[in-house]
Structure formats: C-alpha cells, structure tokens
Chains A and B, each alone.
Chain A
C-alpha cells in the first residue's frame, strides 16, 4: 500500500493502517523528540502523545500528501511544550549541570567519544528555534519549504536560522577545538574534495 492510500485508510479509522503508519514514522519521530527533549522517557511520551493526537485528528487533514508537514508540526509543538515542562521539573542537581568543554589534541574529529560529545554539546547550546531547524533539516531531511510550513514561518526565516545556527556551531567548535585546528580541518577537507 502506498503512503497516500495508507493515510486515507487511517482517515477512515482503520487501526491496522494506523499501526503501519506508526511503524514507518516512529523511528524518526522518536529521534526528533529525543533530540529536542534530551530525555528518553519524555521522548517516548511525546511520540505517544503525537501519534494519539494524530489518530484523533487525521480526518481533518485535507491533503494526505501534506501529512509529513502536518505530523511534524504536531510533533515539534508537543516536543517543545513537553520538553519545557520536563526542564521545569528536573531535579535541581541535574538542572544546573554543565559540561565543561576542553581543548583536545586529536587526529580525526568525529572518531573519539569526547569529540562527539563536544559536537553534540555545541548543537545543544543552540537556541530552540535554531536547534529545531537544524534537526528538521539535517535529521528529518525536510526541505526549507516544508520546515517553513512546520514552523509557520517564512522560508527566508528558515534560511536565516539555518545560516545563524551554522555560524554559532562553527564559533562554538572553534572555541572548543581551537581556531587553528578548525581551519586545518577545513583545508584538509578541501584538499580531499579537490584531490
């Protein structure tokens, strides 16, 4: 069954089709929720709530082809809301916990665990709007147009958020890895590309 037919069957209240729809979207949905909420338990709750609301409201979706945008809009809003509730309820000793970045001497950027953490911390430091755009663009592979519809904003806004997010990331990585190192990496990468 193609995706459009599957969604149409869900709109008729067919639970088995909905189960199939869930299975094809839940991995990405859970990943997205986890990247926003940073907590496994709450990410699961977000996904369950999103699919529950999806089932209840899918009849209202006029164009089944627009399901992705419609669903991610629902998911992202819930994730923001529930993640902020969770931040509020975090035990105090965890709320103030900060990871200290340090200069590292390394051969490859992404291979070592501590470096992965540094990259992730840099992404994590982005503001919610910037981080959400990064997640939707690089993790969910949504287009600029789709993201603008998910977030109810202009495409220009999405582009500028993407640009700003990358600037912030670059700045943060330079701070952690050292400007010289980043420039070297850029050059090496450029050589690889050219060679």
Chain B
C-alpha cells in the first residue's frame, strides 16, 4: 500500500511542479476575449472580423510582386461549399487578372487559365517562438510584442513559397505538399526544382481592430515588381527602402484542399489600391503592409518600420 502511495505522491508532485511553470496571463485572456468578440460573440458591440480574411488580405497585399497569390489559411468551409468550389474550378477555364494598358489605365481582363503562370506561397499560423523560428528560417526573427504602443502582436505565421512560375493546375497539385513543407524539411527539400523559400510574418492588431503585417524572408533586394506597381524611394534607418503602390482585383475568397485562396475564376466587382513598404537589412527583405481598413501614409509606415528595426 505504501509503495503505491509513494509512487502516486511522486507523480502528483511532479505534475504540479511542472504545471506551475506556466501561468495564465492577462494577455491570454484579452486575446481570447478579443477573438470571441471579433467572431461576433458576446453582447458588446465590437468590430467584426475573421482571422482568415486577414490572411487573405495580407497575401493579396504582399504577393503583388509575384502577380498572384495562394493563401494557406485557417478557415474551413462546409463540404457543400467546398464541393461547389471545386466543381467551379474544374469547369471554368478562364481567369480574371488585372492589366495596365500603355496609357496607365487599369482593367480586369479575362485570360485562359492555361496561359497563366505564377509563383505562389502557402502559409499557416505557427506556434513556434521567435528563437525557434530563427533556427528554422536561418535568419534572425524577432517580433516585438508591441509596435509604437499602438499595435499588439496577435500571431506569427510561417509559409513556404516557390519562386519558379507554374500554372494554376500545377499549383492545385502542389499546394498540399507545400503546406506540408512548412513543417517538414524533407518535403521542403523535395521542392528544390521550384526554388522554394521560407518566410515568416507577424500579424499586429491596432486598437480599432485594424491589422498590420510585417514579414521577412531571404530575398535579393530590390525585388522584381510587376507592371501594376509603382515604387517610390525612401529610407529606413539610413538604408534604402521602397514604398510600393499597386492595384489588385478584389477577388472573392474560396477554399479547396482546406486551403483558402483568391477565386481567380470569378470576375471581381472592383479593383483596390494597396500600399506597402519593403526594405532590406543584412540580406533579409522586410515588408510592412496593412489590412484594407488601415491606410498608412509613407511617412507613417516608415516610422513603424524604423521602430520595428530598432527593436531587432
């Protein structure tokens, strides 16, 4: 009997000691309550948003330089919706992209899906700490908890992209593999022929529910922009930076294979103008962009970027 009790005492003590290493914080509570309110829960009126849409917006914003996007996001649609989406993809063969004419006018044009080649990225929320991400990415990753006392860190996201341009059909075949590659080095290495890369970004939330995204990846600077973008030179901490103005179609969001993405097959109702800031430090390209409801001037974006870099 004593043997049994002794072992039980040892186990109980150990579990309690180990569990005491973690303590719930106010931050945890406020993040969780914020999420509930944002999801439309509770009796208080709050700004509504879904985290998935921010992933979408962010990816639409930041991947303009590679013409198109594929977003790895966290939402799930019902099987019916998913089936309908997949059916639509199978039957429709043309897509809608933006085109800028020689006189500078933008228009949404229809194109044969087979003629369209693009690079793409897939991303997902990560639970790794900055230190763990640093080891995984091979470059220093640090996202301060707060930026200018105005934006609070909400989550970190990591992704895997390819620089090689491929057709949409190939993307549909590759996207699940690419999602796996985020967490599996062997799968990542198997993408070698497509020139894969890892990137990481953080989502910051402002007081009014607006979102700010700061991403980093190893990339040659300045990156190549498409013809729908106009760049303006500026500096961040004395280093050259570019403020990019771009126009993109307001694509609807769909999901297939559990991955959210822009619906290129449905004609968007309108075009949207976006701005973002890119700069380089020690071979790492940084990028600052915002959700649609937050419009920053170049000066404001530069100030935020400088604060971020000082914290590094």
Chain A positions near chain B (C-beta within 8 angstroms): 13-15, 18-19, 22-23, 26-27, 30-32, 34-35, 39-45, 47-48, 51-52, 55-56, 82, 85-86, 88-94, 109-110, 116, 119-120, 123, 134-135, 138-139, 166, 169-170, 173, 185-186, 189-190, 192-194
Contact = CB atoms under 8 A, between A and B. Distances in A.
Contact of A139 (B5, B7, B19): B19
Interface size class of B (residues with CB under 8 A): 35 or more
A47 B17 CA distance: 19
Given A48-B31, A139-B12, A88 B184 contact: yes
Most-contacted residue by chain B among A93, A94, A120 (CB, 10 A): A120
A91 B3 contact: no
A189 B31 CA distance: 47
Contacts of B35: 48, 52
Given A91-B132, A123-B15, A186-B3, A39 B36 contact: no
Contacts of B41: 13, 15, 55-56
Contacts of A193: 1-2, 5
A123 B129 CA distance: 25
Interface of chain B: mostly helix, strand, loop or mixed:
helix
A143 to B, nearest CB: 15
B135 A93 contact: yes
B15 A35 contact: yes
A82 B182 CA distance: 15
Contacts of A18: 36, 42
Interface string B23-41: 1100011011101110101
Contacts of A42: 127
Contacts, number: 137
Contact of B28 (A15, A26, A110): A26
B89 to A, nearest CB: 27
A48 B22 contact: no
A100 B3 CA distance: 26
B3 A190 contact: yes
A92 B138 CA distance: 13
Contacts of A166: 4, 7-8
A194 B235 CA distance: 78
15 contacts: A26-B24, A26-B28, A27-B23, A30-B23, A45-B127, A52-B35, A56-B39, A89-B128, A120-B14, A134-B11, A138-B11, A138-B12, A166-B7, A169-B7, A189-B2
Nearest to B183: A89
B10 A109 contact: yes
Given A15-B44, A41-B129, A123-B15, 8 more contacts: A44-B22, A92-B185, A110-B10, A123-B14, A138-B15, A173-B7, A190-B1, A190-B3
Interface string B62-93: 00000000000000000000000000000000
B28 A47 contact: yes
B253 interface: no
Given A13-B42, A34-B19, A190 B32 contact: no
A171 B6 CA distance: 14
Contacts of A15: 33, 36-37, 41-44
B152 interface: no
Given A45-B127, A93-B135, A30 B24 contact: yes
